[in-house]
Amino acid sequence: MKYLIFAISLFFLSGCYIPNTGYQQYNYQNRYSSSSSFSGGLADGLKQSNYQTKGYIYEGSKIIADDGQYLGKITSNKFDADSIFNNYGSYGGKYSANSIFNNYGTYGGKYSNLSPFNPYTTTPPKIITSDNKWAYLTTNTSLTPSVSPFVIINLMQ
């Protein structure tokens, strides 16, 4: 049994298993323009084990809804006014209109087309890094490149 667990761990850490987490270039001037592809997973040169243990890949990235609404930024600083993890802020509060954690809101509801938690949406928000790489923030596994909001939550908290 311990050899099986070791083999599975080795499989995940060796990079044989790579989740759907690539980024694309994002154009702030025209968000509907075609974007060039970026290969190499989350960031060029990062190994899978870094992805699993380091939240710094997402630190400071912005979240933008498909309708253009700014939804906050990903940061481990829970006191940052723009942080999606600031429970009392505009972007992290569960009752805030612009929070992805508002279960009844436009951007966080399970049934909203603009929510990352709707597994059927084709218009989820995007994570945009400081160097203009992007990925969909969604539980919809058919969209690429994408990152699950649950991965972000687990890595950053």
pLDDT tens digits along 80-98: 999 999 999 999 999 999 9
Helix (H) or strand (E) holding 49: helix 48-53
DSSP 22: -
Mean pLDDT lowest among 1-5, 56-60, 107-111: 1-5
The whole-number pLDDT of residue 104 equals: 94
In the structure encoding, which two tokens stand for residue 63, read together? 């979240």
For residue 27, pLDDT over 90 is answered with: no
Residue keyed to tokens 């508002």: 102
Of 20-24, 29-33, 56-60, give the range with the top mean pLDDT: 56-60
Phi, psi angle pair for 8, to nearest 5°: -65, -45
Cβ partners under 8 Å of residue 32, min gap 6: none
Identify the sign of the CA torsion 47, 73, 75, 119.
Answer: negative
* Domain boundaries defined on the chain: 20-157
**Digit-coded pLDDT (tens) for 110-120:** 999 999 999 99
- Torsion, CA 22, CA 152, CA 102, CA 118, rounded to 10: 40
The whole-number pLDDT of residue 103 equals: 94
The whole-number pLDDT of residue 84 equals: 96
Taking the model in full, what pTM does it have?
A: 0.68
d(CA 24, CA 147): 12
> Backbone dihedral region of 137: left (phi > 0), alpha (psi from -120 to 50 degrees) or beta?
beta
